Structure 1
Amino acid sequence: MTSYYQDTVNSGYAWLGWVPRHWDISPLGQHFIERSETVSDKDFAPLSVTKDGVVPQLDNVAKTSNNDGRKLVRAGDFVINSRSDRKGSSGVSSRDGSVSVVYSVLEPRPTLYGRFAHHLLRSPAFQEEYYRWGSGIVADLWSTRYSAMKRILLAIPPLGEQREIAHYLDSEIAQIDTLIAEQQRLIEMLRERRQAMIDHVFTRCSEDRVPLRRFISFLTSGSRGWGGYYADFGDVFVRIGNLSRGSLFLGGEVQRVNLPPVIHEGQRTKLQVDDLLFSITAYIGSVAVVDQEWADSYVSQHVALCRIDTSVLDPKFTGYFMLATEGRGQLSEGAIGGTKVQLALDDIRALRVPVPTLEEQRQIVDYLDRETSRIDMLIAESERLIELSQERRSALITAAVTGQIDVRQEA
């Protein structure tokens, strides 16, 4: 059971807040020594520093590394990937090895218990403070040098208490991670069930596959060079990220464009309800059908707009078919060739689709809308549970390592 410390003091530092009075507030440099010895990865195996901690570097990555001029890492050292520190890429190494010279390697002093240091320096609160002490031109080149890092103030409990906090967090995090893993497996099973349902419907469609070109009344790709028209207000600009890989709905972050009056070319790519959209340069297989909410938007050069004869072919029926394994296979086959994986408009015209009666098409659409919606609701619930679990995980770590909760076992 956890509780709150009764005797606390204001640290005077925003990232620490109120801390237990018996904890020692002191600079990071008092508890870590920077290790800067350079070695060869022939003698010390290359390591990667990820969100999962310090792990052996993959063979295909290791082959491209420079043999000399790497930083030595000893088992028990804390390593920070300074190029992605805000993403939590850091941790205590369980083995000797070597890392890039741009990484920070810290040797804990005897005042620190390794697992407590692992949780403390990976906590979201510390990562934000660490980032604040850094410098750089852009986020990807932002880094915090040890000369600045060593001045960051930490609140350090006695060694015995550090062990209790670390053991508590190890246990709690393991339970949370197990729950997250179970939900991720459930999501994967639900997605497989969804795909099997769609495949089963179209496997039973015995009609011959007919070239889509016979039903296309208009086909085009989006306009180029509209990045300069991006604005906070204006018309919606549909990008490839707005097309889902698993459903026919448009979604995601909305980008707007403010077009000058002289730009008339965009009218060619203005969307209408029931237009069928295909990703043509990335995420091949992403398909969407335009509803009223997205009508009158424009599409980017990476999206193809396909307008079909709705008196013969239902757009959602066609979209669902393209989500089926058979349809995805055609899209993938058409995208392979040349120097890049992409679809040409002729590849879309060449797609072959079943064409049962409109009544049958609409019955299939109604069935798939209903059944996939049920599965999508279950997936959304699991995704929300994962999100809440991750938030609890972060909050729990920060609370424990900054003294917001007392996890010590009562006698």
Structure 2
Amino acid sequence: MKPYASYKPSGVSWLGGDIPSQWLSKRIKHVTAMRSGEGITAEAIDESGTYPVYGGNGIRGFTVEKTHSGEFVLVGRQGALCGNVHYVVGDFWASEHAVVSTLYAGDNPRWATYMLEFMNLGQYSLAAAQPGLAVDTIQQLKLPVPPPDEQQVITDYLDVETVRIDTLIHEKDELIGLLKEARASVIDRAVQPRQTKAAPLKRYVKGIATGPFGSALHSEDYVSGGAFLINPTHIVLGKLAPDADVSLSNETARALSVYRFKAGDIVVGRRGEMGRCAVVPDDGEAYYCGTGCLMLFPDTSKVVPSYLAMVISSTPSKDWLSLESVGSTMENLNSEILARLPCFIPCIDEQIFLLEQIQTEIAAFDNLLTYVHDEITLLKELRAATIADAVLGRVDVRTAPKQ
């Protein structure tokens, strides 16, 4: 594709640079009317119904009444995915956690969806604990606006290209699922019952402790570049994957010293996916237990920590923990339940033999999974760049080869 014939200064502070000469710079309020949706009680929302209910993070469920009918762009006003954008056509209920954007005559809702998605509106949220968008602030932002006929061409082009990329991402996600199943089968085979009898996990550990309560640690306490805090999301494929932005200052770390892991301890996620765990490595880093995890202290005279972690993460253990866990909306594990987990643990020598036997296979699967994850990251970057090039006029999509 070729660039436009001529460009001019954009006049858009967050964008800088130039835009095609025939495009305009407008405030969002001159392109679309934005208004928060209507309140709705949880009791009025069901798993099925006549009309979808859109909240801050997309569809929440269904209800029997509607607030809107037509073609709109919805922006999440509150929630973890604050600023996310949805193109909606038809009848629906928009809750107070969604901002309904009604495009003025001549402007294309699909084009606006791509434009607002590129703008990453979540960066303008006002609060950290419960992110929220201020409609008045968003409406004052400027954006580059092409003529209506070009909006349609841009939309048609992006509809094709994003579907192509999204399909590839979906295929990669399915491949990851298959690889994880195959990896799990290797672990299950290694820890399947042999001559040993089942015994509760508590016989193989010196203790189990729960991470700090919410009152002892808040998200506002997180700093960047401090001591790593481990929550369930930081446990990936049996290894720690800490986030430098979710860490503790020296002062907070001292106050929570009792929750610092030692090398060889096991961290177990107690929320969400059951059986998620990892052995704390001896790599010189400081790791602390987060509120969503349990601390497990293996008795190394009876069990190799990495073997015990493998037992906990096996399919039979996951199934047992899911059945025993508490919580209606999210599975929740406590130390008492984990202590009762039935474990088939052979002698130390056999544990070491089994670990050595599957080490190569597990490493091969982990390498494949890392490779596919990297491919997905590149595809997502390609998707974002494709949208940016089109909605910012870096390329003239009218010169694209016909699909």
Asked if TM exceeds 0.5, the reply is yes
Distance 1:222 1:33 in 2: 46
2:318 aligns with 328
Aligned match for 1:396, one of 386, 395, 402: 386
User: Does residue 369 of the first structure (1) align with residue 359 of the second (2)?
Assistant: yes
Aligned mate of 1:48, from 15, 40, 54: 54
**TM-fit CA distance, 1:183:** 0.5
CA 1:270/1:84 → structure 2, altered by over 3 Å: closer, same or farther?
A: closer
Decide which moves more: 366-375 or 348-357: 348-357
- Other-structure match for 2:105: 110
Q: Give the equivalent residue in structure 2 for 1:164.
A: 153
1:274 aligns with 2:264: yes
User: Does the CA-based 8 Å contact 2:37-2:100 persist in structure 1?
Assistant: no
Partner of 1:140: 131
1:291 aligns with 2:281: yes
Quote the offset at 1:359 in angstroms.
2.5
Structure 1 residue 183 corresponds to structure 2 residue 172? yes
* 1:10 and 2:16 matched: no
- Match among 303, 315, 322 for residue 305 of structure 2: 315
Instruction: Calculate percent identity across the aligned residue pairs.
Output: 22
- Conservation of the 8 A alpha-carbon contact between 1:131 and 1:144: no
Is 1:356 the counterpart of 2:355? The answer is no
Number of the residue aligned with 1:26: 26
Q: Describe the superposition over 1:194-226 as per-residue Cα deviations: whole angstroms up to 9, x where unpaired.
A: 112211222363422233444434444456665
Length-normalised TM-score, structure 1: 0.77
Q: Equivalent residue for 1:58?
A: 61
TM-score, normalised via structure 2 length: 0.79
Structure 1 stretch displaced more, 214-223 or 165-174: 214-223
Counterpart secondary structure, 1:379? helix
RMSD of aligned alpha carbons = 4.1
User: Against the structure 1 CA distance between its residues 85 and 321, is the aligned structure 2 distance closer, same or farther, given a 3 Å change threshold?
Assistant: closer
Match of 1:200 in 2: 189
Structure 2: runs of 5+ lacking an equivalent: none
Q: Is contact 2:54-2:98 (8 Å) kept?
A: no
Q: Matched residue pairs, number?
A: 389
For the structure 1 residues 213 and 294, does the alpha-carbon distance in structure 2 shift closer, same or farther, using more than 3 Å as the test? farther
Q: For the residues of structure 1 that align with 2:253 and 2:153, how far apart are their CA atoms?
A: 67
- The change in CA–CA distance for 1:197 and 1:166 in structure 2 (over 3 A counts) is same
How far apart, in 2, do the equivalents of 1:403 and 1:35 lie? 28
Shift, 1:324, TM fit: 1.0
Larger deviation, residues 108-117 vs 337-346 = 337-346
User: 1:410, 1:233 → 2: CA distance?
Assistant: 43
Larger Rg: 1
Alignment of 1:341-352 (within 5 A): 342-352=332-342
Decide which of 352, 372, 376 is 1:386's aligned counterpart. Answer: 376
Name the aligned partner's letter for residue 188 of structure 1: G
Where does the alignment leave 5 or more consecutive residues of structure 1 unmatched?
none
Alpha-carbon shift at residue 96 of structure 1 (Å): 3.3
1:37: Cα distance to partner?
11
Q: CA separation of 1:97/1:193 partners in 2, compared to 1, >3 Å: closer, same or farther?
A: same
* CA distances 1:72-128 after superposition (whole Å, capped 9, x unpaired): 433223333333697553344321334235644343333223432332233x22x44
Q: Residue 370 of structure 1: CA displacement?
A: 2.1
**Contact 2:232–2:276 (CA under 8 A) maintained in structure 1:** no
